[in-house]
């Protein structure tokens, strides 16, 4: 899956989540994604906006490494990120605890209870 396809899904999730979790509008966070099957991008959340940028950020809060398929399933609500992490289908380096905030954002954007 191309970065542009993830970008659309992430922006949709962020928009829906911002209604349920107003605090995301105050975040200043960067999460790096490394796709094992090719490609890197990061999401930058600041000033109530989300930007999806291809490439590598110099200082992300955390780096999440997985395959396009697993990330796609997480973003579509077909797989729980925590379960993917526990099953080693999702690796996290950096501030692992802060990725709980990212999970909350995704869950809220998917309409799940947070």
pLDDT tens, 20-69?
Answer: 999 999 999 999 999 999 899 999 999 999 999 999 999 999 999 999 99
How do beta strands 29-35 and 40-46 pair? antiparallel
| pLDDT score at 3 | 84
Instruction: Indicate the SS3 state at residue 97.
Output: coil
Structural domains present in the chain: 3-103 (3.30.1050.10)
pLDDT band at residue 1 using 50, 70 and 90 as cut-offs: low
Assessment of whether the complete model's pTM goes beyond 0.75: yes
- Non-local (6+) Cβ contacts of 49 within 8 A are none
| pLDDT score at 23 | 92
pLDDT band at residue 4 using 50, 70 and 90 as cut-offs: confident
């Amino acid at each position: 899956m191309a970065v542009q396809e993830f970008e659309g899904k992430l922006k949709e999730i962020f928009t829906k989540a911002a209604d349920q979790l107003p605090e995301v509008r105050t975040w200043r966070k960067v999460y790096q994604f490394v796709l094992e099957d090719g490609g890197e991008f990061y999401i930058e959340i600041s000033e109530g906006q989300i930007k999806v940028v291809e490439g590598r950020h110099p200082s992300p809060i955390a780096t999440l490494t997985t395959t396009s398929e697993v990330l796609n399933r997480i973003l579509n609500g077909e797989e729980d990120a925590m379960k993917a992490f526990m099953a080693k289908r999702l690796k996290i380096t950096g501030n692992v605890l802060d990725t709980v905030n990212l999970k909350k954002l995704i869950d809220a954007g998917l309409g799940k209870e947070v």
